Structure 1
Amino acid sequence: MNKPKIILIGKNKNLLDLICFSLQTNFRFEIVRFVSILDVIEYMDVNTDFCLVISDFAIGEKQFSNTLKTFMDKKIDVPFFALGATKKFREKNENREVVSEYIGKKNILEDLNSAVEKYFSVDKSVEPKEFCEVGFSVLTSFEGLQTDLFIQLPTGRHLKIYRQEDQINDEDVSKYQGKGVDELFLHKKVSHWLLNTINKNIESVVDNIESNKPVVLQVEPPMPEVKVEEVVEEALDEKDLMSKLNEASEEENLNKIHKDINEIFEITEELEKELGEKVGKAVKAVQKVPHLSKLLKKLNVSRNGDDYCKSHVGLLCKLTTAICHIMDWKQDATIEKLVFVSYLHDITLSDFPHLARIQSKEELRKLGDKISPDEKKVFLEHPEVIKKLVDEMPEAPADASNIILQHHENCQGTGFPFGHSANRLLPLTAVFIIAHDLVSFIIDDPNWDMKVFAELASERYSGANFNKIVRKLKTLKLK
């Protein structure tokens, strides 16, 4: 669920930090900040998803007047709050009636909260958020502050980067901002506790901010007791932080890929649920074989979206299922078989993820001495090795081992291990090969285009089983 947006306009970053901290402690808004009226106009030209505009009069009377004129000319039907406008302006400006609320700076945060409550009601059906954003400038105002601090990863999860015993200082501001971390998060109980101290000293805090003087506040004991409900990881050091940020970014990219696939193949929530159940069934079957269970643990241990084997398997499960659905091959046994094959087809390469990226003998040849003789042997023999392992599994679906054996063959007969051409390959092998190639196409190009793949598929595949699938791919709603 998207949070309602507020446009906040002002030139003093520290004052905006303070206002944002108060609003996000007390409400559930997303705040979009601007320092220039030109940027505001540009934003309003393409966005209508905001519910309130708040502008600091200290941006300058001319800019403030232009903001009001733009607001009026565009006939924007949302409240407009003015912060710190002079009495003369309130009485004489021709567009003053556009302003819904004039809020002074003597008690700015509490008065602003009261004005917001006047225009917006709290949706009590929405679960209160556990963490609250806080700017570095707010944190460094408090001398001796010791509290756990978090960042929010692109996936929405939170990551602890400061422990309660750590001291926060100005050096941390530049250190973390240089790494793209502009906002930290506090537990909501702590943010209310700090905000209470700020509001007790609000006049001097705002005066110092607007005079470019340091704000120095003392924490008022006792600190509230905090119990974090969300399962939160911790960054052990800067290197670990950057690693986790990269992992989360890759995971977010992978989530976007899954979302795009869902739209193209019209995958419903019900189908997603069915797929999850079939993945669970396949995993249970693998876990009963000790050797394969160990390899499966290696596949599942990392959350890193850049873990090729794991992301590769997840996309294969989805795409083989999606292709079966557009082909109207929706029998449970068929889907379960392809999900099983998706998990097992490269299982012996879990220790060699760089080998799992290789798709053909030609790619292997081009890598030359980068791949050792032993690794070449592992790669070229893995379809046959895995087939033998699957044949010994009592719960393996019928023909699953043969699809695995054939998954590196191709229509032209230049694949391996046997060089079989299209007419020797099983119909579900055709599904798997096309899905496998599509996964590689997607992973190799962040800007992948399904229409481009469909055209390439027309040139790459031949034979009745392949041609049927290609024709269906061309009927999709291609982006």
Structure 2
Amino acid sequence: MALKLLIVDPDETWLAQAKKYFTDSHYDVHTVINGKEAQLTMYNTQYFAVIMNYATENHSCLQVLKFIKTNYTNQRVIILLNDKARIDSGEVTEEKLKKLGVSELAVRPFEVSHIKELLEGHQSLSDMMMSMNKKEGMSDETEVSMGDDSFTSIKIDEFYSSSAVLFDVYIKLSQDKYLKILHTGDTFSKDRLDKYKNDKKVKNLYFHNSDRRKFIHYNNFLTKKLIDNKNVPVSNKVNILKNVTEKFIEEAFTVGIKPQVIEQGKEVCESVFQLIEKQTDLYTVLKSYQDFDPTAYSHAFLVTLYSTAIIKQFEWQSKATIETTAMACMFHDIGKTMLPKEFINLSVKDMSPEQVDVYKKHPELGFQIVENNRLINNSVKQIILHHHEAFDGTGFPFQKKGSKIPTLANIVCLADDFVHIMIDEKLQPTEALRRILMDKIGVKRYNSILVEKFIKVFVDPDKVHKDTVLPSNSRVVKKAS
């Protein structure tokens, strides 16, 4: 069943174009030219989303918004603004519209495809499945030319799909040339993938960056199911969580920390908690992890995994604490997106002194990105700001020392340093930990109790006597209300 859209716009020419575009995109589209007709239409039909021009008259856009807020509290609304000057003058602000229940604001000029992207950002997995045009069998393979930067890759062995493929899937032929081997709605064929893997030695599959949200939705759904399945090896669970976490971080780094991105992040954090909470043999993976992908996204996943594993060793750990830390870990290097591009995957040891000075600004830049975001709690913000502060005062950006550093931030600092050593030097986890412990000066960067708990991460929990004492020389950041 197609998702229903109501489009309200006094420009009948644009309205007709938009109706055709969204109908071709498998939406069920209703259109009206004024606010009065919009309200009458909404009495009789429930819509996935309402797309309305701010210039709507008879009744005005604001009148319709008040009507929606009163009668349809959870209705998704996208407002189209013809003139940016109204924002510049303060007549229209995103904050005012949000208070009236507006989900998104789009300012002309824009392509209709931009509105489609906004809509897809609010779709649940069931919405996606419902709106998809399913087909029996598979479509013909199609060669396309498109820039490499338009695609996201996934290892062919790590690609999972529902029975109907949620998005177009490609293999790469050469620079900027791809072959579409599965079309949206096709019946999924593992045989076709195996043919490319075994006969053509294909290692990676590709999909459009715009479909990353769909990938995250489906794979997080699958992650939750696998975590609950006792027959699935823990390594498989970690692997699929790695995939969904990395793609989520890539989405956040690419499109920014938008409301729908944060909502997806919360779902991923819940999966992290479920894995840490339920998987008693997780230590077997944590002490022998070997998938050394040097990208920023893989780094952030590993920091998330080991930070939350450390927290799990404390009696004061909770679902809120683990999920808060997971969110902070995924965003801990978001400030690097405001640095020159080469800093994203540049190792500190390869930087010039001038570059190091620039690099050290990223915790503050990250804090600036999230500071005014009401959907992110203060604990996450403080961890991002302090994740490079060291217990002995040698960290940055403020050279804070001891108990002045939030405990969760010092945990992330320890996990961050550990992951850098593990990836940069290609060491086994236990060898990387040994490197930290053998460095008598460097180990002072962390609260000693955190180091003791980190050692327990690699030990069978059944053999560990749990310590019930909260560190006396550190402070746990409490979740903001």
- For the aligned pair, the TM-score class normalised by the smaller chain equals 0.3 to 0.5
Q: TM-score, normalised by structure 1?
A: 0.37
Flag the structure with larger Rg: 1
Q: TM-score, normalised by structure 2?
A: 0.37
